[in-house]
Copies of this chain bind each other. A is one copy, B any other.
Amino acid sequence: MSQNIYDDAGFFSEYMALDRSIGGLESALEWPRLRSFIPDLRGARVLDLGCGDGRFSRWARSNGAAAVDAFDLSNNMLDRARSMTNDDKIVYRRADLDTLQLERGEEHGYDLVFSSLTFHYLVNLPELFAEIHKALKPGCSLVFSIEHPIFTASSNARFITDALSGRDCWPLNDYQKEGLRVTDWLAEGVRKQHRTSATYINTLLNANFELKHFDEWLPTAEDLETSPWHRVLDRPIFLLMSARKRV
Protein backbone atom coordinates (compact mmCIF):
# COMPACT_ATOMS: atom_id res chain seq x y z
CA MET A 1 0.00 0.00 0.00
CA SER A 2 1.23 3.50 -0.82
CA GLN A 3 1.71 6.17 1.81
CA ASN A 4 -1.51 8.10 2.46
CA ILE A 5 0.19 11.49 2.75
CA TYR A 6 -2.95 13.48 1.91
CA ASP A 7 -4.45 12.27 5.19
CA ASP A 8 -1.50 13.82 7.06
CA ALA A 9 -3.04 16.96 8.57
CA GLY A 10 0.04 19.14 8.09
CA PHE A 11 0.58 18.05 4.48
CA PHE A 12 -3.09 18.44 3.63
CA SER A 13 -3.39 21.98 4.94
CA GLU A 14 -0.18 23.01 3.13
CA TYR A 15 -1.37 21.30 -0.05
CA MET A 16 -4.75 23.02 0.01
CA ALA A 17 -3.00 26.40 0.26
CA LEU A 18 -1.17 25.89 -3.06
CA ASP A 19 -2.30 28.02 -6.00
CA ARG A 20 -3.13 24.89 -7.95
CA SER A 21 -5.32 23.62 -5.12
CA ILE A 22 -7.24 26.88 -4.78
CA GLY A 23 -7.54 27.61 -8.48
CA GLY A 24 -8.91 24.31 -9.78
CA LEU A 25 -8.02 22.61 -13.03
CA GLU A 26 -7.31 25.83 -14.92
CA SER A 27 -4.61 26.85 -12.45
CA ALA A 28 -2.54 23.75 -13.26
CA LEU A 29 -0.21 24.90 -16.01
CA GLU A 30 0.03 21.43 -17.55
CA TRP A 31 -3.75 21.05 -17.81
CA PRO A 32 -4.28 22.56 -21.31
CA ARG A 33 -1.81 20.07 -22.74
CA LEU A 34 -3.29 17.12 -20.86
CA ARG A 35 -6.80 18.23 -21.87
CA SER A 36 -5.74 18.09 -25.53
CA PHE A 37 -5.27 14.30 -25.15
CA ILE A 38 -8.84 13.77 -23.90
CA PRO A 39 -11.41 12.56 -26.44
CA ASP A 40 -14.96 13.84 -26.84
CA LEU A 41 -16.64 12.84 -23.58
CA ARG A 42 -20.29 13.12 -24.60
CA GLY A 43 -22.02 10.03 -23.28
CA ALA A 44 -18.75 8.58 -21.99
CA ARG A 45 -18.16 6.50 -18.89
CA VAL A 46 -15.04 7.82 -17.13
CA LEU A 47 -12.75 6.41 -14.46
CA ASP A 48 -10.75 8.99 -12.46
CA LEU A 49 -7.84 7.44 -10.52
CA GLY A 50 -6.49 9.61 -7.72
CA CYS A 51 -9.36 12.03 -8.08
CA GLY A 52 -8.33 14.39 -5.27
CA ASP A 53 -11.01 17.03 -4.76
CA GLY A 54 -12.94 15.77 -7.80
CA ARG A 55 -12.07 18.66 -10.12
CA PHE A 56 -11.51 16.44 -13.15
CA SER A 57 -14.61 14.33 -12.44
CA ARG A 58 -16.77 17.46 -12.39
CA TRP A 59 -15.08 18.80 -15.53
CA ALA A 60 -15.76 15.51 -17.32
CA ARG A 61 -19.44 15.69 -16.38
CA SER A 62 -19.69 19.32 -17.50
CA ASN A 63 -18.19 18.18 -20.82
CA GLY A 64 -20.85 15.56 -21.43
CA ALA A 65 -19.63 12.43 -19.61
CA ALA A 66 -22.55 10.17 -18.69
CA ALA A 67 -21.00 8.91 -15.45
CA VAL A 68 -17.74 9.10 -13.54
CA ASP A 69 -16.29 6.62 -11.07
CA ALA A 70 -13.69 8.41 -8.97
CA PHE A 71 -11.20 6.77 -6.60
CA ASP A 72 -8.81 8.18 -4.05
CA LEU A 73 -6.94 6.84 -1.03
CA SER A 74 -7.34 9.97 1.07
CA ASN A 75 -10.41 10.47 3.23
CA ASN A 76 -9.54 14.17 3.44
CA MET A 77 -9.68 14.42 -0.34
CA LEU A 78 -12.84 12.36 -0.67
CA ASP A 79 -14.62 14.47 1.97
CA ARG A 80 -13.63 17.59 0.10
CA ALA A 81 -14.66 16.14 -3.27
CA ARG A 82 -18.09 15.16 -1.95
CA SER A 83 -18.61 18.58 -0.35
CA MET A 84 -17.83 20.28 -3.69
CA THR A 85 -20.00 17.98 -5.83
CA ASN A 86 -23.74 17.94 -6.31
CA ASP A 87 -24.10 15.28 -8.98
CA ASP A 88 -25.28 11.72 -8.46
CA LYS A 89 -23.54 10.60 -11.67
CA ILE A 90 -20.18 11.04 -9.97
CA VAL A 91 -19.47 8.29 -7.44
CA TYR A 92 -16.50 8.82 -5.15
CA ARG A 93 -14.98 5.76 -3.52
CA ARG A 94 -11.98 5.07 -1.35
CA ALA A 95 -9.44 2.71 -2.89
CA ASP A 96 -5.78 1.82 -2.69
CA LEU A 97 -4.74 1.94 -6.36
CA ASP A 98 -1.89 -0.48 -5.66
CA THR A 99 -4.46 -3.22 -5.10
CA LEU A 100 -7.38 -1.90 -7.16
CA GLN A 101 -9.81 -4.58 -8.25
CA LEU A 102 -12.63 -3.24 -10.37
CA GLU A 103 -15.96 -4.99 -10.10
CA ARG A 104 -16.92 -7.53 -12.70
CA GLY A 105 -19.53 -5.25 -14.21
CA GLU A 106 -16.92 -2.58 -14.74
CA GLU A 107 -14.84 -4.64 -17.18
CA HIS A 108 -14.66 -3.21 -20.69
CA GLY A 109 -16.94 -0.46 -19.50
CA TYR A 110 -14.93 2.78 -19.61
CA ASP A 111 -14.39 5.18 -22.49
CA LEU A 112 -11.60 6.99 -20.67
CA VAL A 113 -9.34 6.33 -17.71
CA PHE A 114 -7.74 9.50 -16.36
CA SER A 115 -5.12 10.05 -13.68
CA SER A 116 -3.37 13.26 -12.66
CA LEU A 117 -0.07 13.20 -10.74
CA THR A 118 -0.83 9.96 -8.92
CA PHE A 119 1.05 7.03 -10.46
CA HIS A 120 4.45 8.12 -9.09
CA TYR A 121 3.13 7.37 -5.60
CA LEU A 122 2.21 3.79 -6.49
CA VAL A 123 4.30 0.68 -5.94
CA ASN A 124 2.55 -1.73 -8.27
CA LEU A 125 2.13 -0.21 -11.72
CA PRO A 126 2.09 -3.36 -13.91
CA GLU A 127 -0.94 -4.79 -12.11
CA LEU A 128 -2.74 -1.45 -12.12
CA PHE A 129 -2.13 -1.03 -15.88
CA ALA A 130 -3.50 -4.55 -16.44
CA GLU A 131 -6.60 -3.65 -14.42
CA ILE A 132 -7.01 -0.40 -16.41
CA HIS A 133 -6.62 -2.32 -19.66
CA LYS A 134 -9.38 -4.69 -18.57
CA ALA A 135 -11.62 -1.78 -17.58
CA LEU A 136 -11.33 0.12 -20.88
CA LYS A 137 -13.40 -0.49 -23.97
CA PRO A 138 -11.19 -1.60 -26.89
CA GLY A 139 -9.67 1.39 -28.68
CA CYS A 140 -10.23 3.68 -25.69
CA SER A 141 -7.49 5.49 -23.81
CA LEU A 142 -5.66 5.97 -20.57
CA VAL A 143 -4.57 9.62 -20.19
CA PHE A 144 -2.28 10.49 -17.29
CA SER A 145 0.35 12.80 -15.87
CA ILE A 146 3.21 12.02 -13.50
CA GLU A 147 6.19 13.80 -12.05
CA HIS A 148 8.93 13.51 -14.67
CA PRO A 149 11.59 10.85 -14.00
CA ILE A 150 14.30 13.52 -14.35
CA PHE A 151 12.57 15.34 -11.51
CA THR A 152 12.09 12.31 -9.24
CA ALA A 153 15.52 10.69 -9.73
CA SER A 154 17.53 12.60 -7.13
CA SER A 155 16.03 12.84 -3.66
CA ASN A 156 15.52 16.40 -2.48
CA ALA A 157 17.42 17.89 -5.41
CA ARG A 158 17.39 21.64 -5.98
CA PHE A 159 19.29 23.71 -8.52
CA ILE A 160 22.98 24.28 -7.85
CA THR A 161 25.60 26.35 -9.62
CA ASP A 162 28.16 24.57 -11.74
CA ALA A 163 31.41 26.33 -10.84
CA LEU A 164 33.04 25.66 -14.22
CA SER A 165 30.26 26.93 -16.47
CA GLY A 166 28.81 29.37 -13.96
CA ARG A 167 25.40 28.05 -14.99
CA ASP A 168 22.65 26.82 -12.71
CA CYS A 169 21.97 23.15 -13.22
CA TRP A 170 19.81 20.34 -11.95
CA PRO A 171 22.01 17.80 -10.14
CA LEU A 172 20.91 14.54 -11.73
CA ASN A 173 21.95 11.19 -10.34
CA ASP A 174 20.52 7.74 -9.61
CA TYR A 175 18.32 8.00 -12.71
CA GLN A 176 18.58 4.27 -13.39
CA LYS A 177 18.04 3.27 -9.76
CA GLU A 178 14.30 2.81 -9.57
CA GLY A 179 12.35 2.65 -6.35
CA LEU A 180 11.53 4.61 -3.25
CA ARG A 181 12.40 8.29 -2.96
CA VAL A 182 11.72 10.07 0.32
CA THR A 183 11.43 13.80 -0.17
CA ASP A 184 10.46 16.79 1.90
CA TRP A 185 7.66 18.62 0.11
CA LEU A 186 5.03 20.36 2.24
CA ALA A 187 5.78 17.74 4.87
CA GLU A 188 8.80 15.64 5.74
CA GLY A 189 9.08 12.10 4.49
CA VAL A 190 6.83 12.14 1.44
CA ARG A 191 7.28 8.77 -0.26
CA LYS A 192 7.35 8.48 -4.06
CA GLN A 193 8.40 5.79 -6.50
CA HIS A 194 11.00 6.78 -9.09
CA ARG A 195 10.80 5.03 -12.46
CA THR A 196 12.55 5.83 -15.71
CA SER A 197 10.69 7.06 -18.79
CA ALA A 198 11.56 3.72 -20.37
CA THR A 199 9.82 1.84 -17.57
CA TYR A 200 6.63 3.89 -17.87
CA ILE A 201 6.56 3.35 -21.64
CA ASN A 202 7.41 -0.33 -21.53
CA THR A 203 4.94 -1.04 -18.74
CA LEU A 204 2.26 0.41 -21.04
CA LEU A 205 3.46 -1.53 -24.10
CA ASN A 206 3.68 -4.76 -22.09
CA ALA A 207 0.10 -4.24 -20.89
CA ASN A 208 -0.98 -4.15 -24.55
CA PHE A 209 -1.39 -0.40 -24.85
CA GLU A 210 -0.27 1.61 -27.87
CA LEU A 211 1.51 4.88 -27.07
CA LYS A 212 -0.36 7.86 -28.53
CA HIS A 213 1.17 10.92 -26.83
CA PHE A 214 4.35 11.50 -24.84
CA ASP A 215 4.77 15.07 -23.64
CA GLU A 216 7.53 16.44 -21.41
CA TRP A 217 5.55 19.49 -20.45
CA LEU A 218 7.15 22.89 -20.86
CA PRO A 219 5.69 26.32 -20.15
CA THR A 220 4.35 28.65 -22.80
CA ALA A 221 5.81 32.12 -23.34
CA GLU A 222 2.91 33.44 -21.24
CA ASP A 223 3.62 31.02 -18.39
CA LEU A 224 7.25 32.14 -18.48
CA GLU A 225 6.32 35.69 -17.53
CA THR A 226 5.69 34.28 -14.05
CA SER A 227 8.78 33.03 -12.25
CA PRO A 228 9.92 30.33 -11.54
CA TRP A 229 8.70 28.40 -14.58
CA HIS A 230 11.84 29.17 -16.62
CA ARG A 231 13.48 26.45 -14.51
CA VAL A 232 11.41 23.92 -16.41
CA LEU A 233 13.41 24.76 -19.55
CA ASP A 234 16.46 23.33 -17.77
CA ARG A 235 14.73 20.11 -16.69
CA PRO A 236 11.16 18.89 -17.12
CA ILE A 237 8.92 18.39 -14.09
CA PHE A 238 5.83 16.74 -15.60
CA LEU A 239 5.42 13.88 -18.04
CA LEU A 240 2.04 13.56 -19.77
CA MET A 241 1.06 10.47 -21.72
CA SER A 242 -1.84 8.86 -23.43
CA ALA A 243 -2.08 5.25 -24.49
CA ARG A 244 -4.80 3.38 -26.34
CA LYS A 245 -6.01 -0.12 -25.53
CA ARG A 246 -5.27 -2.27 -28.56
CA VAL A 247 -8.31 -3.43 -30.39
Contacts and interface: CB of A to CB of B under 8 A. Distances in A.
Interface in A184-229: 196-198, 201-202, 205, 210-216, 218
Interface residues of A, number: 39
A58 interface: no
A173 B210 contact: no
A38 interface: no
A84 interface: no
B234 A216 contact: no
A196 B150 CA distance: 12
A7 interface: no
B175 A197 contact: no
A78 B176 CA distance: 36
Given A160-B162, A163-B160, A201 B174 contact: no
B172 A169 contact: yes
A3 B147 CA distance: 36
Q: Chain copies in the assembly?
A: 2
Contacts of A211: 201, 205, 210-211
A80 interface: no
B175 A198 contact: no
A220 B25 CA distance: 43
A213 B163 CA distance: 38
A150 B173 contact: no
A130 to B, nearest CB: 19
A168 interface: yes
Given A196-B216, A214-B197, A214-B201, A171 B175 contact: no
A233 B172 contact: no
What are the nearest 3 A-B pairs in CB distance? Answer: A169-B171, A173-B234, A198-B216
Interface of A: 150, 154, 156-157, 160, 162-165, 167-177, 196-198, 201-202, 205, 210-216, 218, 232-236
